[in-house]
Amino acid sequence: MFSRSSKYAIKGVLYLALHASVENKIQAKDLSAPINAPAPYIAKLLQELARHNMVSSVKGPHGGFYLDEVNLQMNIMQIIEIIDGEDKFRSCLLSLEQCNSENPCPLHNLVGDQKLGVIHNLENTTIKELVADVKQGNSILPL
Amino acid sequence: MFSRSSKYAIKGVLYLALHASVENKIQAKDLSAPINAPAPYIAKLLQELARHNMVSSVKGPHGGFYLDEVNLQMNIMQIIEIIDGEDKFRSCLLSLEQCNSENPCPLHNLVGDQKLGVIHNLENTTIKELVADVKQGNSILPL
DNA sequence: TCTTAAATATGACGAATATCATGTTTTTCG
DNA sequence: CGAAAAACATGATATTCGTCATATTTAAGA
């Protein structure tokens, strides 16, 4: 459903949101183990996210990654769009150009409503809210 | 959401269901244009589907592919499982081993219900019903 | 029975994605 | 300042997935 890159990115962001802060930045190499992703790869992804202001970073000694209040207001859909591109999610299930709500493809009616629901939820829940959920024990974030 | 292979396969099956029959079989190379997929590739996919009894085929002159009544009772999920594998769809969104309804990952609560809905719909609608929808003008099947 | 037309089986090629490696820039600290 | 520690930038390699090509098998019809 998501690309592997997106999964790593999402896990990385959530982990940072949960465990990092301005006073306690986390380095790329220290993210590798807890989210179960190769270190150089997660580093590259975090840089891409930083370039798009999804995460904050500082260079040099005692540098690393963290999320500031602005970053915490971002949502999962934005991560996916940065990593996988805009329309990976929104396009027709069969990649039919002519497909839309007026001229739906056979699968459109079958799963269209759920798809819209998924998109809506991914867009309208902030990282902060997701992390609050973890803190309250309503969800978990292991490897 | 689906792999390109799955999309080709689904379009191929739907096209066959709509236009082919025992008396009027369709060859792989004649599927290429209408579903906008490379001929050798769709041939390979159809063979895989035939091996799993998702479509019917006969060799030799006047041979080709079509769907019999049994094939028409199959559903989209079965196509996806044959082409992409069993758990591509059912596994956790973040590929977390420990994630399940009791121990949900942060995304689980967010889209879990919709995901179950999608799976249910894909499993419980037959090819025949989808094609009936097209015949009635409720959906379309272009390139 | 021989030729031909189709699916089938297998593998080679290419492109996209995931992974790794190297060097450069920035910042802290002695 | 100068050295070290980190992100940053770029590109190289590997693996997966999509595409293509070739040879084999099966069945129809003359």
Residue A60: the pLDDT is: 92
Q: Do B139 and A89 touch (CB under 8 A)?
A: no
Q: Do A114 and B110 touch (CB under 8 A)?
A: no
Decide if B10 contacts B76 (C-beta within 8 A).
yes
Q: What average pLDDT does the segment B57-80 reach?
A: 95
Cross-strand partners of B126: B75
pLDDT in tens, A89-105: 888 899 998 898 899 99
Mutate to test the interface with A, among B2, B77, B110, B125 (most CBs of A within 10 A): B110
Confidence of residue B97 (pLDDT cuts 50, 70, 90): confident
Confidence of residue B16 (pLDDT cuts 50, 70, 90): very high
> Residue A139: which of B2, B105, B111 has the nearest Cβ?
B105
Q: What average pLDDT does the segment A57-73 reach?
A: 95
Q: Where are the domains of chain A?
A: 4-135
CA closest to C1' of D20 belongs to: B40
Angle between helices A4-19 and A127-135 (to 10 degrees): 60
* Distance, CA of B9 to C1' of C1, in Å: 39
Class of domain A4-135: mainly alpha
**List of long-range contacts for B22-28, beta carbons under 8 Å, 24+ apart:** B22/B56, B22/B66, B22/B68, B24/B66, B25/B58, B25/B62, B25/B63, B25/B64, B25/B65, B25/B66, B26/B64, B26/B65, B26/B66, B27/B63, B27/B64, B27/B65, B28/B64, B28/B65
Residue A73: the pLDDT is: 97
* Mean model confidence pLDDT for chain A: 93
> Residue A103: which of B106, B108, B140 has the nearest Cβ?
B140
**B4 pLDDT above the threshold of 80:** yes
Q: How far apart are CA B130 and CA A45, in angstroms?
A: 41
pLDDT over 90 percentage in chain A: 83
Highest mean pLDDT among A54-58, A106-110, B60-64: A54-58
Residue B75: the pLDDT is: 96
**A143 pLDDT above the threshold of 80:** no
**A20 pLDDT above the threshold of 90:** yes
Q: Do B138 and A89 touch (CB under 8 A)?
A: no
